[in-house]
Chains A and B, each alone.
Chain A
Amino acid sequence: MADYIIRDSYPVQTAAYESAGDASARIKRKLKQLGIDSAILRRIAVASYEAELNLIIHSHGGELIMEMTPKSIVLISKDVGPGIADISQALKEGYSTASEEARDLGFGAGMGLPNMKRNADSFDITSEVGVGTTIQMGFQIA
């Protein structure tokens, strides 16, 4: 049996720039209603928004999943490709493969993955080219 008390999944479409942030805003509003401390909530919101933007800018589509237990919140970003060939390079600040379109909107500075890692209490990324990328971020709330 799963030990989480809430599990929500939010699909994120590729290139859906118009609605970028919708899933993260919904997650943030829900957690705010549940009384999560505002400083922790801001870290979760930033990590979630970065993950959502990555799904829109780089992936072939995927989902954001939020799991909450009495002690922690776990954010999972899962996509169906294209996968990251060199994860250590993708984790470097300033490294970006974002499109011109994404940059015009104010994104693609190469801060996404490092910023997720910095904001989360735990960070795990696995990726396989041609298969997809999964990122799991944990946040202690108690």
Chain B
Amino acid sequence: MITIRDLIKILDAKVLCGEEKLDEEVRSACGSDLMSDVLAFVKDKSLLITGLTNVHVMRTAEMLDIHCIIFARGKIPPEDVLEEAKELGICVLATEHTTYVACGLLYGAGIPGTSKRTGA
């Protein structure tokens, strides 16, 4: 089982909020800056790797029950976005790696993608 805590080591990431979620399991992941595509592809217990730092990332995560978001390329979201994450109980990490490298490292560590579309 891979937990959010494991991701910190794999990605050399720091925790921006949601410390209490670190022992939750991660079953699949999705890397995208396009929330429309995230809405079409994400499954349960997913994490999202993105470079988009606006509040819509949190709203999209809320709809999909995404419990962990990793901001790539050293991006740190604005305070109001982090506040929204705290309110929604979403764990937020930040890594200096690019989205491509972060995805590769996580895939290599055994976290599968969300290749199949959601819904019926």
Question: A121 touches which one: B39, B56, B57, B120 (CB < 8 A)?
Answer: B120
Within 8 A of B (CB), among A1-30: 20-21, 24-25, 28
- Contact A28–B54 (Cβ < 8 Å): no
Residues in B with CB closer than 8 Å to A24 are 59, 63
B-side binding surface: helix, strand, loop or mixed?
A: helix
Contact A49 B39 (CB under 8 A): yes
The residues in A between 42 and 76 inclusive whose CB is less than 8 angstroms from any CB of B are: 42-43, 45-46, 48-50
Taking a contact as CB atoms under 8 Å apart, the answer to whether B44 and A106 are in contact is no
A118 to chain B: closest residue by CB = B119
Residue numbers in A under 8 Å from B25 (CB-CB): none
Question: Can you name 20 extra interface pairs (CB under 8 A) apart from A112-B36, A118-B40, A120-B120?
Answer: A20-B56, A20-B59, A21-B56, A24-B63, A25-B59, A42-B63, A43-B119, A46-B119, A50-B39, A105-B35, A106-B36, A107-B34, A107-B56, A109-B36, A109-B40, A111-B37, A115-B36, A115-B39, A118-B118, A119-B118
A-B contact pairs, 14 of them (CB 8 A): A21-B60, A25-B59, A38-B65, A42-B65, A43-B120, A45-B64, A46-B63, A105-B35, A105-B54, A105-B56, A106-B56, A109-B40, A114-B40, A115-B36
Residues of B within 8 A of A (CB): 33-37, 39-40, 44, 52, 54, 56-57, 59-60, 62-65, 117-120
